[in-house]
Amino acid sequence: MALASLSKVVLGSAAFGVFWVLAVFPSVPFLPIGRTAGALLGAALMVVFHVISPDDAYASVDLPILGLLFATMVVGGYLKSAGMFGHLGRLLAWRSQGGRDLLCRICVVTALASALFTNDTCCVVLTEFVLELAAERNLPAKPFLLALATSANIGSSATPIGNPQNLVIAFNSKISFVGFLLGILPAMLVGMAVNMVMLLCMYWKDLEGSSPDAVAAEKEMAAVEEGRRPSPATSTTLKSPGRTMLVQSSSLVAGADHESVMVESISTKHRWFIQCSAPQRRLFLKSFAYVVTAGMLVAYMLGLNMSWTAITTAVALIVVDFRDAELCLGKVSYSLLVFFTGMFVTVSGFNKTGLPGAIWKVMEPYSKINHVRGITVLSLIVIVLSNLASNVPTVLLMGDEVAASAATISTAAVTRSWLLLAWVSTVAGNLSLLGSAANLIVCEQARRAPRNAHDLTFWSHVVFGAPSTLVVTAVGIPLIGIINAA
């Protein structure tokens, strides 16, 4: 795309700058309106400055991504009520040997789950679990939130359903699900391991926490020394050490009991439900949630539309639940959906200035993937654009051009170029909070958590995210090149 007029370039860049500043500093003193309002302000400025027309602004809103994000929040809520993520929480906490062991488990479990359930879904449902686990061990939340966000991004690179940009790449490149998986899986596994080691090295001393039993014992001793009676939670924990998590974390191990109460409170006049006993109703609803979710994954693998598949799954869960869906729908983070709506318009306007396209035209001759220098230059361009304009627009902007450039080399180079673009654009999301939706979800979910809330700032993420992005990207590229070589 050619550069627009000077006025449009200046005004479009200014509008994007407003959005970027408010997204990075949501409580900036001169305009403390937050990220969501900042995204809407950036979108409005793009239209007011005539950088993008109102019709183009509406068209730029990516409804499939918004629909997918909304539906996964709904499905995640029902899976949480069915106990699925409670079991995952038990897996993370089961016989945990301390903070370092817990961090490794979060990295592995999150990466593998993100490949199947998308990185956004995993971050939506696991953030509060991670906060609870850290709090129970008197550990800082930051290393675990970083492990969750970065591992979710790295893990999502392995499949076409892991994230939206992979969907775009799989559709445009015609690479099969299996071919995509085999092409990137080795890089994903090695990248996950490298990211985990870097987290351990950076936060080694901060991860010297106690087990939940030891923490409970310390509280008991402190209560005795102060002449106070132990609290009911502590007393129960000491009597039943093996059930520590049941007492201390209603979101994790107590989740099953909480879910039973939720199912018991169902108000329905359906005759079948009235005739069934409470255990039968609980078993039916949980089984249905698992079966429908498994069907959703199968539909993804068969190539059905991901967004509508997720929406259909969400609707099926709502209908079969036989109660007013207001409670479940009320837990959806609508502010996050509004943020992405404004971001889509702002980024689209920024792309219309022609600056991203101008950068590619200058760098394309130096970005051939048949030598190390070209791959390095291409990777750096993708990393920079993915963090400035987000990874989905970057893929939409550069995908065809990168593939056309690779076609002049060989047919195999075309497939390799698409997979390299998928890998780099996805891992690039770890560089900053704005790099991917998963990062923003973890940040917002942690900040709004009803208990153990934590504010993951932009700079605290960059301190780890920048070196991790560069190292993990560099480690994975040779694996993709070797496996997908002609």
Top-confidence residue, 396 or 33: 33
Mean local confidence (pLDDT), 238-254: 37
Closest by CA to 120, choosing from 148, 89, 158, is 148
8 Å CB contact between 16 and 346: yes
Residue 222 and residue 232: Cα distance in Å, rounded? 15
User: Could you tell me the pTM of the whole model?
Assistant: 0.70
Residue 458 has pLDDT above 50, yes or no: yes
Q: Looking at per-residue confidence, does 213 or 447 come out higher?
A: 447
Name which of 156-165, 199-208, 238-247, 426-435 the model is least confident about: 238-247
Query: Is 70 exceeded by the pLDDT of residue 275?
Result: no
The model's pLDDT over 96-146, given as tens digits with 9 standing for 90+, comes to 677 888 899 999 999 998 888 778 878 887 888 888 888 888 889 899 999
Q: What is the mean pLDDT of residues 267-279?
A: 57
Domain ranges of the chain: 65-163+174-211+245-329
- Average pLDDT rounded to a whole number, residues 460-477: 93
Residue range 248-257: mean pLDDT, rounded:
39
**pLDDT at residue 474, as a whole number:** 94
**Cα-flanking dihedrals φ and ψ of residue 370, to 5°?**
-95, 5
Please state the rounded mean pLDDT for residues 252-264. Answer: 40
pLDDT confidence of residue 256: 39
